Structure 1
Amino acid sequence: MSAQSVKHHHRLISKILKDAVKWDFIVRNVAEAVTPPKTKKVEMQTWNNEQVKRFLQKSRDTVYFPIYQTAISTGMRRGEVLGIRWQDIDFDNQLIYVRQTLQPILKQGLTFKEPKSGKSRSITRNGKLN
């Protein structure tokens, strides 16, 4: 497992055991005796302009092209792009309103949720926020 995964699991187990101590199920949180690994900052690898152009050319004839084009030209996240409805697009002002995201929920399938921030926002064609 990656250090980030171990850290996440440690945090979860620690919280569970902390609650168990609080509820008098156990006397001590043994997770407090463990130091999770430090995570390293990994620089994100992004495509250069030539790689983006090549990808869009290769995907032009696929059903997914509009999704790819929207994500690349606006910088929107996958769930945000997949959550767009016709009512979220303002063609006159060239705006897309991010009002919901499409997210997979374990044992439920796909569901629409409000954005992480809890607020909608608008994005211009070049990806700038309004």
Structure 2
Amino acid sequence: MSELSQQVKVMVEPFYLDGDSSMTENRFVFGYTVTIRNDSEQAIQLLARYWKITPGNGQVQEVRGEGVVGEQPLIAAGEHFRYTSRAVLDCAVGVMEGTYTCIDNATQTTFEVPIKPFRLASPLHVH
């Protein structure tokens, strides 16, 4: 992992969206708010995302795409970017993890920022 990768911090706060979920249809909707903090001394830009979603049934889903929520945000040194998105699972628990592909604006070097695994669980399935 590069030094710059270590200076970009990702914090995720997951939550359950009861009103959008349906236990009878095996549809469990989770929101998550992500804060990406740039603790480096140069501006970076988030170019792409990769998510690995592992529901409790073990059927892994992978999601790749440009940016996040329709944006490729530029995050200045010492600043942060926050967004909220969602994931739909067919079971009440799961785990998400992934990476962001970013670019150092000064050197035009791309690097990966890991997103640590976090748990998705409906309130009835929290242990």
TM range (shorter): under 0.3
* TM-score, length of structure 2 as denominator length: 0.28
Larger radius of gyration: 1
Q: Which has the higher helix share?
A: 1
Q: Which has the higher strand share?
A: 2
More relative contact order, 1 or 2 (CA 8 Å, 6+ apart):
2
* TM-score, length of structure 1 as denominator length: 0.27
